[in-house]
A and B are shown apart, each in its own frame.
Chain A
Amino acid sequence: QAQLVESGGGVVQPGRSLRLSCAASGFTFSVYAMHWVRQAPGKGLEWVAVISYDGSKNYCGDSVRGRFTVSRDNSKNTLYLEMNSLRAEDTALYYCAREITLTTEPRESWFDPWGQGTLVTVSS
C-alpha cells in the first residue's frame, strides 16, 4: 500500500532555511510526479510545488518561487523541499502527495495518497 511520510519540520527564525523530506514506500516512486501542498493554520490547501518523475522538470508556485526548490532522489525514494528566506507567512503544515495522471486521458489527474504532514513554524 502506497505510503508517504514527511519529516524535517520545526521552528525556524525568519530569513533562515529548512529542508523537508518525504519518504515514499509501497509503490514505484520513480515513475510518478510528486507534489508539495501546504496548509496554514485554520486556512485552506495551497499548492506549492511539483517535480516530474525523473526530476528533470520542476515548478514552484508564485508565493514561493525563487525561495523554495523541489528535488528528489529516486535511489532513496525520497522527495525534498528546500526552503530558503523563510517568512512568517510560510508557517504551515506541509504535505507531500503523489500525482496520478491517466495516460489515456491526460485531463484526469489527482493526488493520492497524501502524507500526514510536517509542521513548519517561522517565528522569531
Chain B
Amino acid sequence: SSDLTQDPAVSVALGQTVRITCQGDSLRSYYASWYQQKPGQAPVLVISGNNNRPSGIPDRISGSTSGNTASLTITGAQAEDEADYYCLSRDRRGNPWVFGGGTKLTVL
C-alpha cells in the first residue's frame, strides 16, 4: 500500500479543467513531483518541486500544495493528456521515497 493517496481514476471533458490530488503526511515536509505515463512508455516528469515545469511541458499543466495535499491541475485538457499520473515524495517514515498509487486520467 502507498503512503501517498491518489484517486484511481478521473475523467474530464475535452477543454475542461481537471485536478488530480495526492494526499499524505510527507507532503507537509516535502514537495511532490508529478509524472505522466502513457501506455508502453516510461514515466515523464511534468511538475517538479514548487510548481516548476520542465521544458516542453505545456503551461496548461500546473502544480500546487496545501497542507498534506499536492495537486496537479490541467487547464483545458487535451486528448494527449490522457495518461496515468503519479506523485512522488520523500518520506521520513519507512521507505525514504514513496509513490502515489497513480491516477488514470480519461479525456472524454
Contact with B54, one of A105, A107, A112 (Cβ below 8 angstroms): A112
Give the size of the chain A interface in residues (CB under 8 angstroms).
25
Which residues of chain B from 25 to 47 have any CB-CB distance to chain A below 8 Å in the complex?
29-31, 33, 35, 37, 42-45
A35 to B98, CA, bound (A): 12
Query: B-facing mask of A52-90, CB < 8 A → 1, else 0?
Result: 000000010110000000000000000000000000000
How many residues does chain B have at the interface if contact means C-beta atoms less than 8 Å apart? 29
Distance in angstroms from A74 CB to nearest chain B CB is: 21
Q: Within the complex, what minimum Cβ distance (angstroms) separates A87 from chain B?
A: 18
Task: Tell me the bound Cα distance from A95 to B48 in angstroms.
Answer: 19
In the complex, the answer to whether A45 meets B48 with C-beta atoms within 8 Å is: no
Chain A min CB distance to B94 (Å): 7
B42 close to A117 (CB less than 8 A): yes
Contact B95 A61 (CB under 8 A): yes
Flag whether A44 is at the interface (Cβ < 8 A): yes
Q: What is the interface of chain A mostly: helix, strand, loop, or mixed?
A: strand
Chain A residue numbers with a CB within 8 Å of B88 are 45, 47, 110-111
Closest B residue to A115 using CB positions:
B42
Tell me if A108 and B86 are in contact (CB < 8 A).
Answer: no
New A-B contacts (14) at CB < 8 Å, excluding given A37-B99, A111-B45: A37-B43, A44-B84, A45-B37, A45-B43, A46-B99, A59-B96, A61-B95, A107-B29, A107-B30, A108-B52, A109-B33, A110-B49, A113-B45, A114-B42
Chain B positions near chain A (C-beta within 8 angstroms): 2, 29-31, 33, 35, 37, 42-45, 48-50, 52, 54, 84, 86, 88, 90, 94-102
Give the interface of A toward B (CB within 8 A): 35, 37, 44-47, 50, 59, 61-62, 95, 100, 102, 105, 107-117
